[in-house]
A and B are shown apart, each in its own frame.
Chain A
Amino acid sequence: MKVLVTGAGGFLGVHVVERLLARGHRDLRCFLRDRGKVERLLGLSQSYPGSQLELCYGNLRSKSDCARAVTDIPLIIHLAAGLKGAPAELFADSVVASRNLLEALEERNDLSMRQTRVVLVSSFGVYGVVALGRGARIDERTPLEDHPELRDTYSYSKLMQEKLFWDYQRKVGFELVVLRPGVIYGPGGGAFSNRVGLQIGPVFFHLGGSNLLPLSYVVNCAEAIAIAAEHPNSVGQVYNVHDDDLPTASRYLREYKRHVRRIRTIRLPHFVTRMLAQLLEAYHRRSRGQLPAIITLYKAAAAWGGNKFDNAKLHALGWRQLVATSDAMAETFDYLRRKDGKQC
């Protein structure tokens, strides 16, 4: 069965391709935007003899590129999304691109919809955690965000993207599987999620305190995606994706400082963060946006609400954490030391 992986050249994409190959898939179409990101895919192709990696370059904002991407494909793993940049870019790269892909799928006539499975990689950001109160447990039954526009543009774009997929699934009838990873990390990724804190000028404000970090090591996350893509019982289901032995934000920061580099940090207790958020919000309103409202009460509750997490449903599908968190953090910090350490 030929598999399409969109965003195949990205941080997560390369690992998803690797896990698919490791699990015996040999015929893959790797859709990627930047030609500069092809080297690691070519390396994988050599590591798995007999594999056929069809490199398909394009941009999902283009309807014709989408049509090319989905032709003859019974299994689509959609990873491509906007991660940073101006809000308009995030929506164009996540939502408009997804809509184009779904339209191309709807319009093709080589395979029936019943023969087609789509796996969407969504995000924890779609959950409406603010209404739940501090310390609430997040699982797949947690309601979706009512006010994503109050949170952050990334979460808003991912929620709009996921809703779009469910709408098309109902309309067109393909099999849909949705995975919602927490914070994906690993070599090639960034150092800090907002859940740990925010870098403002030369100081890192540690806002996550002793909250659990819903980390998902990129290899473990890729494995979860590959399993969910194959499993017969995953159709129509949603899966939270995070590792088992989750560290706290303060442990992550402490180990970063020990293994990567010293950084100036100020730890703010949650009540101080909330007070600061109130002040910033009030100033943002009064000054009509002279300083951005980087922390608001809503964002503080969403990012630093001390939630608990549950990946039991993913386990029930047969997923096991391939790389232990201690090893995963060691590999990540080793990469960051080589990358960030050079800048010191």
Chain B
Amino acid sequence: MNYRGVLYLLGRLLIALAVALIAPTGLAYGLRSGEFLAFALPTVLAAGGGFALQRLFRQPTDFTFGRREAFLLVTAAWVTASCVGALPYLLVKGPGFIVDALFESASGFTTTGASVLTNVEGETPALLLWRSLTQWLGGMGIIVLGIAILPKLAIGGMELLGAEAPGPMQEKLTPRIAQTAKALWGIYALLTGLEVGSLILLGVKPLEAVNHAFATMATGGFSTRNASIQGFASPAIEMVVVLFMLLAGANFALHFQWIRGRPGPLFRDSEFRFYIGVLGGTTLLLATDLILRQGRGILDALRLGVFQSTTIVTTTGFATADFDLWPSFSRVLLFLMMFVGGCAGSTGGSVKVARIMIVAKKLIVDLRRLLQPHAVLPVRIGPRAIPDEVVTSVTTFFILFLTLFAGGGLLLSLMGLDFVSAFSASAACIGNIGPGFGLVGPTQTYAPLPDLAKLLLVVLMIVGRLELYTVLMLLFLWRRTK
């Protein structure tokens, strides 16, 4: 195990975090809001730590980096970022906030959007900027992880998920990870910029526009309003956010194509079509339920339906309604949609659309096999037949996801949460969504939960964000090297 190499790269990560911290530091300085030191100190610490690690564990330019190192690095990167990101919260809020600071930071970097801040509107602009920025940075990490790194590690079928989408790699334009990453980050930044622009045009204050664009493109869901997007009370803003959530939940390799003038792959991609189908279907069902059970007007119901279905399916976690007060069917439907998640290669979390498709088709295929026990029935996604090993690994992933979700819910109930809160909190965190139901509903926060529960949810967020295996693998890794 090349620990030195891992530490060296973590040093780079620290330097990147220091660079990112300059933004809120500058903002705090510019606004003279008094918490300048709370940002300056972590910036200096991160930069110092980063340079020290780089110096101490200097690597030759062609140093070897294997699968084990990759697993360790990925997990270590998110843990490190979460810890460093917690420092500003800690310094602003005081030592009693330590668990909450970690929770808020991890929720940011995993693009979850679960919050412990009970009055967001009372926080300073610098802290809110940092809060959104953690999500945006987390999203950047996820894009590279999903398109460039996880496929190589072949986790949970990731080597084939989204492979139908002609990514930048097949273009032969950007064959190396670094270049692929840059191309995708360019698109990520471009879409973020577009959203900032659209929101400003609709009258949102620039800083709030940036905050929300960061949180949207990362499918994070941190808002600067206590009532989330509902706080703007503007259908136009809602629709812009819906559009960008939808884009953030789609495969970035496909965005790469249409931005370069080739919309074909986007509409041919079977995962994207299924994703749109799920969003459309959920919207219609929610709207119908709201019309019939709550007597809302058609437009009103559609507006609420499309926002809530998009925010949950893409795992963003904004809200324009307290859907916890909705009829039972709508709530159950939204809860189930928490397990769908974004497309492979998006910033969305949870199981992922492609995996849901594969598991569903596997079910059908196995039923057919009862009639013809010797039939060879490949699971198909679009025109492609998925090899059996991949189907198995996807199915295992799905089962593992549900097991961890159930285990998390069980432990939370042990810590005193009620049935609905325990399971929805577990699902909302492992799926990187944010709001759940009951105690952690869309108008509530995670603040009242016991510290132990918050720590457990931090673990679930990171495990869920890193496709389960990346983290769980470390247990085996550790045992073997021992």
Q: Do A and B bind each other?
A: no
Q: Which residues of A contact B (CB under 8 A)?
A: none
